[in-house]
């Protein structure tokens, strides 16, 4: 009878432990990364009343007879199945999907957890809610993570910079229109320019020139009309008498014209009086030729094929008698006669101002050329916008031609570098695929003489093995370069493999580090240290640390946390079972008590 009392007591103790575990599970139903525990029971040592015997002759064997002495807790194990994930939107929060533990602490004192509630401290260290550093591998200056090295505390330094990288390659990609045709050269006419004059000044040496197309100076023999009569002023040095033109008050000179060629300036043949007439010199249109480039703005260099004519747009009459002789302009610019004669009237024109007839710009539309543009960088991170074109030059043949100058600077108009080389013939096969015999020539960008000359020249190698030539529109472009400007860290994300990627102000991303993941041969052998932390034991085995997604390790779910895996329905069911078991064991005690009472009452 006393054995049943003690067996019932052991049952009460065992189920009390069961209730303790259930209570702890329910209490941690909202604990991040918490793993529920399970209790199993085992019977205690039994008292043997009779041992077993084997069969003997005609007598069969007998089984042992034993009385159990109660129950004990066999194990309290941890259920390491995954809990549900809850999105938080915090970039440094991580949940583990699959096997593994985060490693926190120091390289010599490591602890393990499933709670990925991480943040950064004032020093940029990645830490958990208790302040323990998260361990992993820090990337080098080039953004390379070596997972074969020992793990250490991860740091995401605020304001860290990415150094500039000089461009060494460019990649041409896209399609070129197979049906494109080459563009023939086109003729471009230069428009006239009007030069205003004021016929109120004295005769002076001319210093300004009418310039046509930046390369044509309009000047030479001139005809001066007074009272509708034309007098010729020849560019000769034969006269010795100086002539001073009388002032002309609102004089009229109809259709005064000055013929000009490319040898002298028109201003050298002009005479000015003190009248108030306003004159204008107009450089008539001169025909010119220029090569036009398809789909790009080509600068047409104006080349005069005939002498440009400069004509006064308005004139006033000059008073006085009809001239009796030819007037000439001396080399010194003064007006004189060819012999001892006199000119009594002139049309007065002042010095022409230096208004230029600028080069014409021609725009042609054609699909034989594809413009390109891309930003390159030098060793200091200065940006150079390389422009150029890819032009069809034959059957299945195109020419890549970079511009000879790169324009930029703070005003967007400064020549910041000169480009040499790079012109390459791109070949395609009959089926439109890239011909591997194509040889791309390197181009050199030299900033000498520009605002970035301190960075020095650098060489860029083009490539384009993915280009195609088919009948669709041209989409060819420079798709990539390996260079970039310097940048400052302004954001971070963590991938499913635990790689921490930094986002920089130069538009680039680079690895900062990688979070480590540890697995154990026997995770049930880990010892809970509180704070959602575990430590290894002799029965858990050593931590096998590596990258997520390798060696049987799980992966990370960024921006999320793993919830507790406690199943409340299961826990309440277990609670009912434990409660009834406790009541049943207590009933044994009360029954034994009644039996003892009856035994005691036998004495009455």
Task: Please give the helix or strand (H or E) that residue 572 lies within, else none.
Answer: helix 568-601
Edge-to-edge strands of the sheet including 216-218? Answer: 216-218, 210-212, 356-357
pLDDT in tens, 143-154: 999 999 999 999
Question: What is the phi-psi region of residue 406: left when phi exceeds 0, alpha when psi lies from -120 to 50, beta otherwise?
Answer: beta
pLDDT of residue 159: 83
80 vs 533: CA distance, rounded Å:
13
Q: What is the token pair recorded at 579?
A: 């409660």
The secondary structure of residue 201, as a DSSP letter, is S
**pTM score over 0.75:** no
Contact 419, 444 (CB under 8 A): yes
Secondary structure of 472-493 as H, E, C letters: CCCCCEEEEECCECCEEEEEEE
284 vs 222: CA distance, rounded Å:
15
Q: CA Rg, the chain, in Å? A: 49
Q: What is the DSSP string of 142-165?
A: TS---TTSPPEE-B--TT-EE--B
The helix/strand/coil state of 235 is coil
pLDDT in tens, 248-287: 343 343 433 333 343 333 434 344 444 444 444 444 343 4
Contact 517, 543 (CB under 8 A): no
181 vs 367: CA distance, rounded Å:
7
Count the Cβ atoms, other than its own, within 10 Å of residue 191: 11
Task: Give, in order, the Cα–Cα distances in Å from 359 to each of 11, 288, 342.
Answer: 107, 10, 43
The helix/strand/coil state of 578 is helix
Q: What is the dihedral of CA 496, 501, 505, 507, to 10 degrees?
A: -60
Contact 338, 330 (CB under 8 A): no
The secondary structure of residue 333, as a DSSP letter, is S
Task: Report, as ranges of residue numbers, the positions in the chain whose pLDDT lies below 50.
Answer: 184-366
405 vs 418: CA distance, rounded Å:
5
Pairing mode of beta strands 152-153, 458-463: unpaired
461 vs 94: CA distance, rounded Å:
42
Q: What is the token pair recorded at 245?
A: 């033109």
Write the CB contacts of 253 (distance below 8 Å, at least 6 apart in sequence): 224, 225, 226, 227, 312, 315, 316, 317, 318, 347
Task: Return the bridge partners of 258, or none.
Answer: 310
Q: What is the token pair recorded at 239?
A: 């006269």
395 vs 259: CA distance, rounded Å:
50
Q: What is the token pair recorded at 390?
A: 């890819």
The CATH number of 169-183+366-485 is 2.60.98.20
CATH 2.60.98.20 positions along the chain are 169-183+366-485
377 vs 416: CA distance, rounded Å:
12
Q: What is the token pair recorded at 368?
A: 């034989």
Phi and psi at 567, nearest 5°, equal -100, 105
The secondary structure of residue 275, as a DSSP letter, is -
Count the Cβ atoms, other than its own, within 10 Å of residue 277: 25
Write the CB contacts of 573 (distance below 8 Å, at least 6 apart in sequence): none
pLDDT of residue 1: 60
The secondary structure of residue 182, as a DSSP letter, is P
Q: At CA 67, angle to CA 64 and CA 72, rounded to 5?
A: 125
């Amino acid at each position: 009878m006393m054995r049943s009392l003690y067996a019932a007591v052991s049952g009460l103790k065992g189920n009390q432990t069961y209730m303790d575990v259930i209570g702890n599970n329910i209490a941690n139903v909202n604990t991040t990364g918490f793993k529920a525990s399970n209790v199993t029971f085992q019977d205690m040592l039994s008292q043997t009343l009779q041992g077993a015997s084997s069969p003997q002759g005609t007598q069969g064997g007998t089984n042992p007879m034993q009385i159990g002495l109660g129950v004990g807790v066999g194990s309290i194990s941890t259920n390491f199945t995954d809990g549900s994930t809850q999105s938080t939107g915090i970039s440094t929060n991580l949940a583990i999907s699959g096997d593994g533990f985060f490693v926190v602490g120091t390289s010599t004192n490591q602890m393990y957890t499933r709670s990925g509630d991480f943040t950064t401290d004032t020093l940029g260290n990645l830490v958990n809610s208790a302040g323990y550093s998260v361990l992993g591998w820090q990337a080098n200056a080039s953004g390379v993570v070596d997972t074969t090295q020992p793990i250490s505390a991860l740091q995401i330094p605020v304001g860290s910079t990415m150094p500039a990288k000089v461009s060494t390659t460019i990649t041409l990609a896209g399609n070129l229109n197979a049906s494109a045709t080459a563009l023939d050269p086109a003729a471009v006419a230069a428009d006239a320019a009007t030069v205003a004059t004021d016929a109120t000044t004295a005769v002076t040496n001319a210093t300004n020139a009418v310039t046509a197309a930046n390369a044509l100076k309009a000047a030479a023999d001139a005809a001066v009309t007074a009272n509708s009569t034309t007098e010729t002023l020849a560019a000769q040095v034969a006269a010795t008498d100086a002539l001073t033109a009388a002032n002309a008050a609102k004089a009229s000179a109809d259709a005064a014209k000055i013929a000009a060629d490319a040898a002298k300036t028109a201003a050298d043949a002009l005479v000015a009086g003190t009248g108030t007439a306003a004159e204008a010199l107009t450089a008539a249109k001169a025909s010119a030729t220029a090569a036009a480039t398809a789909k790009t703005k080509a600068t047409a260099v104006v080349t005069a094929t005939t002498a440009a004519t400069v004509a006064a747009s308005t004139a006033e009459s000059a008073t006085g008698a009809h001239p009796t002789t030819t007037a000439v302009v001396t080399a010194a610019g003064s007006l004189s006669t060819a012999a001892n004669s006199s000119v009594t009237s002139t049309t007065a024109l002042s010095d022409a101002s230096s208004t230029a007839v600028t080069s014409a710009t021609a725009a042609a539309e054609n699909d034989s050329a594809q413009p390109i543009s891309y930003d390159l960088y030098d060793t200091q991170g200065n940006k150079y916008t390389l422009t150029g074109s890819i032009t069809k030059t034959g059957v299945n043949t195109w020419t890549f031609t970079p511009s000879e100058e790169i324009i930029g600077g703070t005003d967007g108009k400064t020549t910041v570098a000169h480009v040499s080389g790079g012109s390459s013939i791109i070949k395609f096969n009959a089926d439109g695929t890239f011909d591997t015999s194509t040889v791309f020539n390197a181009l050199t960008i030299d900033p000498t003489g520009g605002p970035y000359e301190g960075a020095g020249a650098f060489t860029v190698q083009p490539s384009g093995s993915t280009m195609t030539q088919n009948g669709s529109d041209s989409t060819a472009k420079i798709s990539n370069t390996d260079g970039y400007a310097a940048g400052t860290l302004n954001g971070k994300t963590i991938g499913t493999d635990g790689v921490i990627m930094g986002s920089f102000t130069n538009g680039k991303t680079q690895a900062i580090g990688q979070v480590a993941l540890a697995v154990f041969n026997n995770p049930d052998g880990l010892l809970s240290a509180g704070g959602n932390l575990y430590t290894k034991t002799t029965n858990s085995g050593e931590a096998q640390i590596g990258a997520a997604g390798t060696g049987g390790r799980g992966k990370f779910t960024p921006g999320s946390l793993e919830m507790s895996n406690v199943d409340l329905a299961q826990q309440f069911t277990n609670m009912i079972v434990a409660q009834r078991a406790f009541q049943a064991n207590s009933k044994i005690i009360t029954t034994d008590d009644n039996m003892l009472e009856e035994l005691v009452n036998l004495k009455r």
